[in-house]
C-alpha cells in the first residue's frame, strides 16, 4: 500500500526507485520484488519514462466497486445528472470514510464551480464543506466527538475552521434539516447545501451536496435546490430498498 500511495503521489510522471526509497523504509531488493508482484497483478503499469511506474488499471476496477456499495453510486449518478441539468450547479455524492468524507460521484451543470475535492475519489477531513456537516450530524455523538477531536488541528491549520464553528453548524442542521459549510480560508466565493441520504431505518448512506457561487444563492434557488435534492434522495432510497428486497 505504501508503494501504491507513493506512485499516486508522483502523478503523471510515474514513480521511480528513488521515490519508493524516499517514501518507505523498505530495502531496494524488497521494493523490486513488490513492484514485480504489483505489476503482475495489474496494480502497477510501466510509465512511458523508463524505470518508472504508474498506477495500474486494475485499481479502477476495485475503486469502482468500492465506491458503489449497495449500488449507491449507480443509483446516484442519473439523479445527480438530473439535478445538474435542471438547476445548473455542481452536485456531488459523498460518503463517510473514517475521519474523512470521500467523493463518490460528481455532475456539473451550466454553472460549475470549484470544490474542496478535485474529482471522484477526492477526500476532505470531516468538518470541511457542507457534505461533511451532513455526514457528521448523522453520526452518534460519541463517534462525532472522536472525529472532531482527531481532526481539530488539521481543520484549524489547513482550512482555518474551528471545531466550535463545525459544532454550531451541526446544531443548526438538527434544527433545519440541511447543512451549510463552515467558511474558512478556502473557496470564499463559493457556498453550498447538503442533505443526508437516510435509509428506511435512519442509517446514513451518504450525502447529496450542491456547490454554487454565492451570487446564485437566492432564497428561491436555495429552496428549489433543497426540495429537489430531498426528492432525489427519497427516490434513491426507495429504489435501493427495492433492490435489496429483490435480492
Contact 54, 14 (CB under 8 A): yes
Report the DSSP pairing between strands 90-97 and 53-55. unpaired
Query: What is the maximal distance between C-alpha atoms in the chain?
Result: 63
Strand ranges, E, within the chain: 44-46, 53-55, 90-97, 100-108, 123-125, 190-198, 204-213
Grid cell of 47 as nine digits: 510509465
Q: Let me know if the fold of 2-61 is the same as that of 67-246.
A: no
Model pLDDT, residue 68:
62
> Which burial class, exposed, middle or buried, applies to 77 when counting CB atoms under 10 A from its CB (0-12, 13-18, 19+)?
middle
Residues 6+ apart with CB under 8 A from 139: 96, 147, 204
What is the C-alpha to C-alpha distance for residues 31 and 17, in angstroms, rounded to an integer?
8
Nearest to 148 by CA among 176, 172, 168, 175: 168
Model pLDDT, residue 244:
47
What is the C-alpha to C-alpha distance for residues 19 and 88, in angstroms, rounded to an integer?
42
**Fold that domain 2-61 belongs to in CATH:** Arc Repressor Mutant, subunit A (1.10.10)
The residues spanned by each domain of the chain are 2-61, 67-246
What is the C-alpha to C-alpha distance for residues 61 and 220, in angstroms, rounded to an integer?
41
CATH superfamily of 67-246: GAF domain (3.30.450.40)
Question: What is the tens place of the pLDDT at every residue in 53-67?
Answer: 999 988 877 776 665
Grid cell of 70 as nine digits: 449497495
Alpha-carbon Rg of the chain, whole angstroms?
Answer: 20
Residues constituting the chain: 247
Q: What is the mean pLDDT of each run of 10 residues along the chain (247 residues)?
A: 93 93 95 95 91 89 66 92 97 93 93 80 91 95 96 94 95 95 73 93 92 93 97 92 50
Model pLDDT, residue 67:
58
Cell 452518534 found at: 140
Nearest to 192 by CA among 178, 166, 177, 210: 210
What is the C-alpha to C-alpha distance for residues 86 and 162, in angstroms, rounded to an integer?
35
Question: What is the tens place of the pLDDT at every residue in 156-197?
Answer: 999 999 999 999 999 999 999 999 988 765 667 789 999 999
Model pLDDT, residue 246:
38
Amino acid at each position: 500500500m505504501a508503494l501504491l500511495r507513493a506512485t499516486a503521489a508522483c502523478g503523471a510522471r510515474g514513480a521511480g526507485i528513488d521515490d519508493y526509497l524516499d517514501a518507505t523504509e523498505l530495502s531496494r531488493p524488497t521494493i523490486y520484488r513488490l513492484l514485480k508482484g504489483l505489476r503482475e497483478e495489474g496494480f502497477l503499469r510501466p510509465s512511458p519514462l523508463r524505470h518508472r511506474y504508474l498506477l495500474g488499471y486494475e485499481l479502477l476496477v476495485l475503486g469502482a466497486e468500492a465506491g458503489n456499495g449497495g449500488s449507491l453510486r449507480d443509483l446516484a449518478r442519473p439523479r445527480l445528472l438530473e439535478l445538474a441539468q435542471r438547476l445548473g450547479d455542481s452536485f456531488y455524492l459523498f460518503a463517510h470514510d473514517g475521519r474523512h468524507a470521500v467523493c463518490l460521484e460528481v455532475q456539473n451543470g451550466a454553472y460549475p464551480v470549484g470544490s474542496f475535492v478535485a474529482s471522484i475519489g477526492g477526500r476532505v477531513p470531516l468538518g470541511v464543506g457542507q457534505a461533511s456537516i451532513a455526514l457528521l450530524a448523522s453520526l452518534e455523538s460519541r463517534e462525532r466527538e472522536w472525529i472532531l477531536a482527531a481532526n481539530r488541528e488539521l481543520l484549524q491549520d489547513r482550512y482555518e475552521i474551528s471545531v466550535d464553528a463545525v459544532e454550531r453548524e451541526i446544531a443548526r442542521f438538527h434544527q433545519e434539516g440541511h447543512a451549510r459549510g463552515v467558511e474558512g480560508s478556502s473557496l470564499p466565493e463559493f457556498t453550498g447545501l447538503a442533505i443526508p441520504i437516510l435509509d428506511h431505518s435512519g442509517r446514513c448512506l451518504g450525502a447529496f451536496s450542491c456547490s454554487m457561487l454565492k451570487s446564485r444563492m437566492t432564497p428561491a434557488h436555495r429552496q428549489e435546490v433543497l426540495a429537489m435534492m430531498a426528492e432525489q434522495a427519497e427516490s434513491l432510497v426507495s429504489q435501493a430498498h427495492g433492490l435489496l428486497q429483490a435480492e
